[in-house]
Structure formats: C-alpha cells, structure tokens
Amino acid sequence: KLELAGYGKGAIGGVPMMDFKKMAEDAGLKIISSHVNPVDTSISDPFKAMIFKYSKEVTPKIMEYWKATAADHAKLGCKYLIQPMMPTITTHDEAKLVCDIFNQASDVIKAEGIATGFGYHNHNMEFNRVATKEQQEKVKGNPFAAFMKVGDQIYDLMLKDTDPSKVYFEMDVYWAVMGQQDPVEYIKKYADRIKVLHIKDRYVLGDSGMMNFPNIFKKAYEIGILGYYVELEGDKKGRTQFEGVEKSAAYLQAAPFVK
Ligand code: MG
C-alpha cells in the first residue's frame, strides 16, 4: 500500500496519474493515500503557487483546488487525502480561520467521493504556541517567563477547532518528538481523531534510538489505528531510498511489537 507525495495537475511526479496508477499496480502497489497542499493554479512557479497565507479572499481558490484534486484522487481509488504542510498560524484568530477552511475543504472532498474527508499531517511547528494578549500579560515581568508554557499549542487548537466528523489527523510520530511531544500521549488522548500514523525516524527506523516504537505501536493497536506509513526523508549519509526502505522493512519485520 502506498501513500503518494508529488501529485500536481493530474500528474504524479510528472507522470500522468492514470499511467502512474498502472505502474504502481504492475509493481503490486495500491495507492490508498496522498499528500497534497493547496496551490493557486493561476501561478506557474510550483513553489510560489503554494498557498500558506489563508484568508477569506483566498478561500475560493483553496476550495477550487480541493475540488479538482479530490476528483482526481477519487479516480485513483484513493481513500485518504491529506494536507502535510501547516498554513501560516501566528495567532488564535489565524488558527480558527485555518480550522474553518479545513472543515469546509472536507465537505468539498467528501462531495467528490472521498468519504474520509480531510486529513492533516504534522511536522514540528504545530507544537509551537500562540498566545493571546491576556495570556502574555499574565507572565509579563516574571523572570521565569522564558521557561513557562505560555499560550496554546497550534496542534491542540487544530484538534479543538476542527469538526471531528470532517477532519482527522495523521500523526507523524517523529516530528511530534522533534516538537518535544510524546506521540503516545497524543494517540491515547485523541484516539478518536488520530486515524493514521507516519512511522518515521531520523532516517532508517530504529537507528536514532530516540523513538519509542514499542510503546507507539502498542498504543496505536489499542486505539484501533486504521493504518500507518513508513516515511523516509532527509538522509545525510548518501544512502539510496531503496536501502532505507529495505532496512526499515527489516526493522519492522524483526520487531516483536509489530503485528
Ligand atoms: Mg511525515
């Protein structure tokens, strides 16, 4: 089973999407999930086209993107459609607007035939905090303010302000740890919201020693997780993706905690 990254304008990594689907199927792989980020299709530069600053004005462009993208992914037979990048959020108001747009996007996605709605994947910046004026005032002048947790974590606001019937979460356990969180606590606390996982380490699974995979898997099975994907990104030792995939698969196959 495969989760895509690299969809754009009816193609995947530049290959027409139905040809890509056939290539995957010929290799024994089924595409069930895809990472996509809203772009303004009127801008040709793919990086400049990415929409990060959400507003009422840009919402129709975002919905236009989701409509076409969801229709394409329904044709691919995709079950999960997931946004992997955080829009700009520096205040509670911005967080609320982003959550409203996620909810709205979910309706558009469902209408195109993807019943699971809108999925969201985190990195570490979702564990940054935003603080209201009142929250900032409370610690003003306190010499220990730098050590205090002031305000709310963006991820928690996303969980609070998105509709559970519309938006689910794909927790990337590695990026949660990089955000100084315990993914097990989140999986436990939000068992009804976290539906799928990114099982990821700094590179090859198990190599860094910083990921508590036994506890992560234990808790994930307990809540009835729907699935997980192994993700490889950012190797700095010159290994190929194939080596990384082989070694990570070997790690999971040998792990007594993986069912
Ligand atoms: Mg990930």
Return the SS3 of 155.
helix
pLDDT at site 117: 98
pLDDT at site 125: 98
Using 70 as the pLDDT threshold, list the residues of the chain that sit under it: none
pLDDT at site 155: 98
In angstroms, what is the span from residue 3 Cα to ligand 1's centroid? 11
For residue 121 the two structure tokens come to 């994947």
pTM listed for this prediction: 0.95
In angstroms, what is the span from residue 174 Cα to ligand 1's centroid? 8
In angstroms, what is the span from residue 136 Cα to ligand 1's centroid? 32
pLDDT at site 40: 93
Q: What is the DSSP letter of 64?
A: H
Strand order in the sheet with 11-12: 7-8, 11-12, 15-16
pLDDT at site 233: 86
**CA dihedral angle for residue 11, residue 16, residue 19, residue 25, rounded to 10 degrees:** -10
Strand order in the sheet with 80-83: 2-5, 31-35, 80-83, 118-121, 167-172, 194-200, 227-231
In angstroms, what is the span from residue 32 Cα to ligand 1's centroid? 16
pLDDT at site 221: 98
Return the SS3 of 162.
coil
In angstroms, what is the span from residue 145 Cα to ligand 1's centroid? 32
